[in-house]
Structure 1
Amino acid sequence: MDFSKCKMIDGALGTEISRRGFSVDGEVLWSAKAILEKPELLKQIHYDYYLAGADIVVSATYQFTFETMKKIGFEKDKSIELFHKGIDLVAEAREDYLKSLNYEIENIPLVGASIGSYAAFLADGSEYTGFFNKTKQELIDFHLERLELCCENPNTDIIALETMPSFLEAEALIEIFNSGKISKKAYISFACKNKEQINDGTLFADCVKICLECDNFLAIGINCTKPEFVPNLVDIANEVMKKQKKQKIIMCYPNLGNIWDSEKQTFLPDSGFSENDFVSLLHNLFINKKCSIVGGCCSTTPEIIKKLAELVKK
């Protein structure tokens, strides 16, 4: 499937793994823990998202870093092997899905290789503030190796730069992709703390503006953000693109809106949007052509994605 034909991205991974009985709350690897210990469960979740109607399903590598793997006792070669396994599990789930359809499908859905913020490596909630004491060059050095590995994996269709909370980090990623060192295309998605700003306080409009200068970014998105902030943020993205006379796909996959308990490292249940209100909000953005790809982040499920996909793909 060409990325421009995509309409649906998957939903939550970490919270979905925990919902199915394997807790990753508070884990330094977050959903990547399942690559090590519960690969079949992880593969099943990826499969369920394809079955629900997702055109893009993303790997459990968001919080996977070699620094963390070293701390918990893994040699570099084994860590690289496990990073690739995270991407390969999505591809295996897609193959099972295609088999279930006897390969009778016009547009084959995509495999996304997830790359999280430096804040995700810290595993201290920094993705909610965007504050970490690193220079742009240090952030470039941090991201480059994983991005190169994404490109080496033949199953990577698109690189997912997710939950970016920092303008400086976005600049670092743009510099990497503009350098010609990364052979595959990506989308970049920001975590926002209100209707106008990403988590570090930078105006979302300024983030959209700089990302329009990167030809290797096929889309600009909003994720891991409260749903009530999303309509205004999407309007901002559209306004900037109109003003700059440059267009990219706009993606939107917010959280369900549940409150994060930083002490327990988990989301408080039933503290966010209802499933129906969440689906209605994103469907309205889609049908009004405010954004082209929709889905969910933390606390969303394959069932929610299925409801949304049924409306979006009518």
Structure 2
Amino acid sequence: MTANPLEALLAREPFVLLDGALATELEARGADLSGGLWSARVLTDAPELIRAVHADYLCAGADIITSASYQASFAGFARAGLAHDAAARLMARAIELAREARDAFWAVPENRAGRGYPLVAASVGPYGATLADGSEYRGGYGLSVEQLMDFHRERLASLIAAGPDLLACETLPCAEEAVALARLFSAEFPDARAWLAFSCRDGASLADGTPLADALAAIDACPQVLAVGVNCTAPGFVAQLLRAARGVTGKPLIAYPNSGECWDAALQSWHGHGDDVAGDAPGWLAAGARLIGGCCRTTPATIAALAALRARLKDAASRG
């Protein structure tokens, strides 16, 4: 991984554009996400569908696409009957599919016009995601920092070995998990580069109730953490959360909320009405966001709308 793979994109754009949801987009296209592996199941069932979703996000304007490894873990694959080596190969395959989509996109000259070279981020889901019971929206695992380091260590090694541009450590519901990841980067993975994004339950607190400001302060000294912020959080909370973050860190801020609907872990379904993510984004920019995208239930159309917003901002800047 390079010293700071985000640097060039941040320098050229009003904001770096992330992709949107992968799992819910795969489901909308007919993928079966039942069972504990969620989107990782599609790595074996329909890898071409993953590649197609990545391609559509790139065509919509995304600067960074995120791999289908959020739910992937050695423990989760073992429960599904996969041997250790097979699990490692599937994690690597998630990165390969994203790279293949990126390389095919970039091979078309028209796609390179006015664009920075897209990056591939390896999704690193939280411990709670492997439980497949909604724990990433609650936290409170009852595990120590050391136990969380033990959980993440081997998966990080496999994902990093697959050659992504950076890691997307996302939907973290508690400060302990962020501290565990930062300690692993510092002590065992010095070449790793990552962003850390938290799931939050309101305008100030992580899913487990810890103030976001406290969680960010605990990891701010880690130079390998390149950007911090929130994801899979209701859009209405994002601006307030970003303002809280700006008070404790100088790192670039990241925001990729869900659609605003609510996840019912017991029924395995979403409820309510979605928000206008692109319509809310100017407020996030005003609050300090430099990387913006979408999480669950957002689509390539969401990213296209954010790309249109960015084009308007660039046009206005060029006019003076």
Normalised TM-score (structure 1): 0.92
Pairwise CA distance, 1:289: 5.9
Pairwise CA distance, 1:159: 0.5
How many residues align? The count is 302
Offset from partner CA, 1:168-217 (integer Å, 9 cap, x none): 11111111112143422000000000111001110001011112111100
Cα distance change on mapping 1:107 and 1:15 into 2, 3 Å: same
Q: What 5-or-longer segments of structure 1 have no aligned partner? A: 242-246
Residue 256 of structure 1 is aligned with which of 254, 259, 262? Answer: 259
User: Hey, what's the Cα distance between the residues in 2 that align with 1:18 and 1:264?
Assistant: 16
Cα distance change on mapping 1:85 and 1:160 into 2, 3 Å: same
- Residue identity over aligned pairs, in percent, reads 36
**Residue in 2 aligned with 1:280?**
279
**Residue in 2 aligned with 1:208?**
216
Cα distance change on mapping 1:255 and 1:144 into 2, 3 Å: same
Residue 220 of structure 1 is aligned with which of 223, 228, 232? Answer: 228
Offset from partner CA, 1:106-146 (integer Å, 9 cap, x none): 52110000111000111111111102122211110110111
**Structure 2 counterparts to residues 74-153 of structure 1, below 5 A:** 74-101=82-109, 104-105=112-113, 107-153=116-162
SS at match of 1:292: strand
Pairwise CA distance, 1:280: 1.3
SS at match of 1:218: strand
Contact kept in structure 2, 1:15 and 1:299, CA below 8 Å: yes
SS at match of 2:96: helix
Cα distance change on mapping 1:182 and 1:264 into 2, 3 Å: farther
RMSD: 1.6
- 1:29 paired with 2:32, answer no
User: Hey, what's the Cα distance between the residues in 1 that align with 2:96 and 2:282?
Assistant: 31
SS at match of 1:179: helix
Contact kept in structure 2, 1:147 and 1:182, CA below 8 Å: no
SS at match of 2:107: helix
User: Hey, what's the Cα distance between the residues in 1 that align with 2:132 and 2:99?
Assistant: 27
**Residue in 2 aligned with 1:236?**
244
- 1:292 paired with 2:290, answer yes
Offset from partner CA, 1:133-163 (integer Å, 9 cap, x none): 2221111011011111222122x00101000
Contact kept in structure 2, 1:112 and 1:158, CA below 8 Å: yes
User: Hey, what's the Cα distance between the residues in 2 that align with 1:188 and 1:303?
Assistant: 25
